[in-house]
Chain A
Amino acid sequence: MRALLAAFATLGVLLLGLAPAATASGTDGPATTPVTAAGTEASGSEAGGTGETYVIGTDTTFAPFEFRQGGDLVGIDIDLMEAIAEDQGFEVEWRSLGFNAALQALDSNQVDGVIAGMSITEERQEVYDFSEPYFTGTVTLAVNEGDESEISDWEDLAGKQVVVKTGSISEEVANERQDEIGFEVTALDQTTTLVESVKSGNADALIDDYPVIAYGVQQGSGLVTVGEQVEAGDYGFAVNQGQNPELLEKFNTGLQELRASGEYDEILNEYLGAEDDGVDPSSFWGLIVTSLPSLLNGLGNTLLVTGISFVLAMVLGLAFGFMKIARNPVLRGIAVTFISIFRGTPILVWAFFFYFGLPPLIGVPVNIWVAGVMTLTFNGAAYIAEIVRGAVQSVDPGQAEASRSLGLGHGKTMQRVVLPQAFKMMTPSLINQLVIMLKDSSLLLAIGFAELLYQAQQIYAANFRVTEVLLIAALLYFIAITALTQLANYVDRKVNR
């Protein structure tokens, strides 16, 4: 039995070993992002190195202003802020939080400033101080490649189906023009959904922020922008009202310098210019080249979180499995309760609970890795406990009787006679459970854990190539699971001759 336990430990360690190899591709990889997203130590400004360090909040994915490329946070906002920081001699510590969360963090002074492709509006000016506008937003019309002859400007929308983003400036623009031109408007919640609606033919055109759509076009989304762009307000960098005035001043001064030096145009051009240098990202090969680093990074996190959770779930599962067949009714009760709770509730509930629900109860923020591992471990342990119980009980009782008749005690009988046979029987189920856990780890994307599917989502949220990115992600899962199954079966054959 020791050999078997060792084999499973080896398998776990192998998983852990594989993970860093896959993670090595990105330096400031998304593995760390959710950790920061957990807001473990949004501490405010600190003196560090040569200049001040400011904590700046931003959105997770709002390409081309902020998004992840090869695991690194990039975009117009990011590049601009870093160029200004360099120019003005301060350091930036990024918090990739999501738009609303970033503003909430600003409200509570957990971040010093927010740059997130945010329009300067009157309401916002009541609570925040804004910098000079660093970008003038426009709204554009976009159609499928090939349809631009049919719909070349706003007037051609007569009688067409148009999709817009709920609650955005694009919706306002659409509503203003709807009656005059005469088109149908449907409001959807995400840019990705808008793009998919047009690509699938459910809608004829979309109206959305120009930079977002233009970046997608550059990345091969299959759409083209048409018609005249409509001005939709200025974007500004914000600090909390009355806070960090010197930061605001540095931003304004730096922005002026960048505009003067031409660096500002360079940054914009990099994200909005028609052609990217190097690999053409619009080809499938280009997509693989640009997205693979983040996806492998995500795969690394997937393997790591699965590996850690499986090892812990084995320990817990063995414990609860034995408790469930113990003679002591208290132990049995504990095991039965644990197993029925975690088998009887969806895994997502626990992911949310450990990440969002637990911190208020214990008064300490929960690291996303801890929350993810707890979720997978407890769920897995409940199933492994049942596998263990089933396997132990399926060993012929005559085996234990023979061992007891030789004078071996209960413990030695379990250890030398019953468990080795039970392990042999449970191995296929355990391998199956491992595969299930690896697949279930994708659910952790719901709390922002940067595993494989989360990375895929981040990529297609920026370039709108949903189908291709999902296919690549599925292929990576498939390869990983197949390799793991082969490995596990090999170990099984070696150990359970």
Chain B
Amino acid sequence: MSTATTDNSGGRVVGERVMVDVQGLEKSFGDNHVLTGITDQIREREVVCVIGPSGSGKSTFLRCLNRLEEATSGTVQVGDYDLTDPQVDINKVRRHIGMVFQQFNLFPHMTVAENIMLAPVELGNLTKPEARKRAEELLDRVGLADKADARPASLSGGQKQRVAIARSLAMSPKIMLFDEATSALDPEMVGEVLQVIRDLAAEGMTMVLVTHEMGFAREVADRVLFMDGGKIVESGTPSEIFDHPQQPRLQEFLSKVL
């Protein structure tokens, strides 16, 4: 890791500082070994896309990064916090980690603005009027300024996912995790969500995305991880992964999806 890697999208520069440090991460559900030893480092402002066949452990890996899944062994360090330390206040750590889900998981009993305001107000970061102002700014940023008082049920899938992204941004996270954020969307809605992610990348947000959008991964990622059988099988720049795949399993996978 000598010099900062140049990017493939404008003037963004991946930093030196390590944001996520994963060492020997394993995860089992009973006899089912989902992650069999993952070691990787993700740096500040880096955009990492995780690809691989279903059941390869991509989502589990991502969920270990904010401890929605507890590691069976190994360590996960995010920023200054060791997530595998039982002493660490996980609620505090999670405020700095935004998470976007495949199924959006908006709170249906709240308006769009209330969804976004919930965390800042409940955690005492902002007063209600401040949070409302922030919610409006964030909605403007994802192109939904007019939807502040709508109910989630009245939104399209793409709009819901953009609200979910705005909600994650409300706590000003240092890193964003996307768990197949576009997989549940109708094809014509995928573009609007990817555009928001693209903008975030351009602004220098550190991001880890589990995705099936190979074209998007190639376009936006600094680095692509190919996972299979609970391991990172191959890691490299988009051009290394997509144009010069080394491992037979990656070659086979790409031959199916591309």
Q: Is the CB of A408 within 8 A of B91?
A: yes
Q: Is the CB of B105 within 8 A of A402?
A: yes
Q: Give min CB distance, B80 to chain A, whole Å.
A: 16
Q: Is the CB of B105 within 8 A of A396?
A: yes
Q: Is the CB of B97 within 8 A of A405?
A: yes
Contacts of A124 on B, CB cut-off 8 Å?
none
New contact pairs (6) apart from A402-B106, A408-B91, A409-B91, CB-CB < 8 Å: A401-B99, A405-B66, A405-B98, A406-B95, A406-B171, A417-B118
A416 interfacial by beta-carbon distance below 8 Å: yes
Contacts of A399 on B, CB cut-off 8 Å?
105, 107
Q: Is the CB of A398 within 8 A of B105?
A: yes
Q: Give min CB distance, A497 to chain B, whole Å.
A: 9
Q: Is the CB of A405 within 8 A of B109?
A: no
Which A residue's beta carbon lies closest to that of B118?
Answer: A416
In the complex, what distance in Å separates the CA atom of A408 from the CA atom of B68?
Answer: 13
Q: Is the CB of B171 within 8 A of A407?
A: yes
With contacts A396-B105, A417-B107, A421-B109 taken as known, whether A405 is within 8 angstroms of B68 at the C-beta atoms is yes
Contacts of B103 on A, CB cut-off 8 Å?
396, 398
Q: Is the CB of A402 within 8 A of B91?
A: no
A177 interfacial by beta-carbon distance below 8 Å: no
Convert B45-85 into 0s and 1s, putting 1 for each residue whose CB lies closer than 8 angstroms to a CB of A: 00000000000000000000010100000000000000000
The residue that A407 contacts in the complex, of B101, B109, B119, B164, with Cβ under 8 A, is B119
In the complex, what distance in Å separates the CA atom of A403 from the CA atom of B108?
Answer: 12
Q: Is the CB of B119 within 8 A of A420?
A: no
In the complex, what distance in Å separates the CA atom of A96 from the CA atom of B228?
Answer: 82
Which A residue's beta carbon lies closest to that of B177?
Answer: A405
Contacts of A412 on B, CB cut-off 8 Å?
122
Name B's A-contacting residues (CB within 8 A).
66, 68, 91-95, 97-99, 101, 103, 105-109, 118-119, 122-123, 164, 167-168, 170-171
Q: Is the CB of A421 within 8 A of B68?
A: no
Q: Give min CB distance, A417 to chain B, whole Å.
A: 6
Q: Give min CB distance, B197 to chain A, whole Å.
A: 17
18 pairs, A vs B, C-beta closer than 8 Å = A396-B103, A398-B105, A401-B68, A401-B105, A402-B105, A402-B167, A404-B91, A405-B66, A405-B68, A405-B98, A406-B119, A406-B167, A407-B91, A407-B93, A408-B91, A416-B122, A417-B107, A424-B109
With contacts A417-B107, A420-B109, A424-B109 taken as known, whether A406 is within 8 angstroms of B101 at the C-beta atoms is no
Q: Is the CB of B101 within 8 A of A401?
A: yes
Contacts of B170 on A, CB cut-off 8 Å?
406
Q: Is the CB of A407 within 8 A of B94?
A: yes
Contacts of A421 on B, CB cut-off 8 Å?
107-109
With contacts A401-B105, A417-B107 taken as known, whether A407 is within 8 angstroms of B99 at the C-beta atoms is no
In the complex, what distance in Å separates the CA atom of A398 from the CA atom of B106?
Answer: 9
Convert A408-430 into 0s and 1s, putting 1 for each residue whose CB lies closer than 8 angstroms to a CB of B: 11001000110011001000000
Contacts of A420 on B, CB cut-off 8 Å?
109
Which B residue's beta carbon lies closest to that of A424?
Answer: B109
Q: Give min CB distance, A496 to chain B, whole Å.
A: 9
Which B residue's beta carbon lies closest to that of A406?
Answer: B119
> Interface size of A by Cβ–Cβ distance < 8 Å?
18
Contacts of A403 on B, CB cut-off 8 Å?
107, 118
Which B residue's beta carbon lies closest to that of A420?
Answer: B109
Convert A367-408 into 0s and 1s, putting 1 for each residue whose CB lies closer than 8 angstroms to a CB of B: 000000000000000000000000000001011011111111
In the complex, what distance in Å separates the CA atom of A409 from the CA atom of B118?
Answer: 12
In the complex, what distance in Å separates the CA atom of A153 from the CA atom of B12?
Answer: 116
Q: Give min CB distance, A405 to chain B, whole Å.
A: 4
In the complex, what distance in Å separates the CA atom of A417 from the CA atom of B66?
Answer: 19
> What 4 pairs between A and B have smallest CB-CB spacing?
A407-B95, A402-B105, A405-B99, A406-B119
Q: Is the CB of A405 within 8 A of B94?
A: yes
Which B residue's beta carbon lies closest to that of A415?
Answer: B122
The residue that B68 contacts in the complex, of A396, A404, A416, with Cβ under 8 A, is A404
Q: Is the CB of A407 within 8 A of B92?
A: yes
Q: Give min CB distance, A421 to chain B, whole Å.
A: 6
Q: Is the CB of A402 within 8 A of B107?
A: yes
In the complex, what distance in Å separates the CA atom of A405 from the CA atom of B105?
Answer: 11
Candidate in A407, A420, A421 with the most chain B CB atoms within 10 angstroms? A407
Q: Is the CB of A406 within 8 A of B105?
A: no
Contacts of B101 on A, CB cut-off 8 Å?
398, 401-402
Contacts of A402 on B, CB cut-off 8 Å?
99, 101, 105-107, 164, 167
Contacts of A404 on B, CB cut-off 8 Å?
68, 91, 94
Q: Give min CB distance, A35 to chain B, whole Å.
A: 45
Q: Give min CB distance, B128 to chain A, whole Å.
A: 14
With contacts A401-B68, A401-B101, A402-B101 taken as known, whether A408 is within 8 angstroms of B107 at the C-beta atoms is no
Contacts of B167 on A, CB cut-off 8 Å?
402, 406
Q: Is the CB of B105 within 8 A of A407?
A: no
Contacts of A401 on B, CB cut-off 8 Å?
68, 99, 101, 105
Contacts of A417 on B, CB cut-off 8 Å?
107, 118
Convert A8-38 into 0s and 1s, putting 1 for each residue whose CB lies closer than 8 angstroms to a CB of B: 0000000000000000000000000000000
Contacts of B164 on A, CB cut-off 8 Å?
402
In the complex, what distance in Å separates the CA atom of A252 from the CA atom of B103?
Answer: 89
Q: Give min CB distance, A2 to chain B, whole Å.
A: 13
Contacts of A405 on B, CB cut-off 8 Å?
66, 68, 94, 97-99, 168
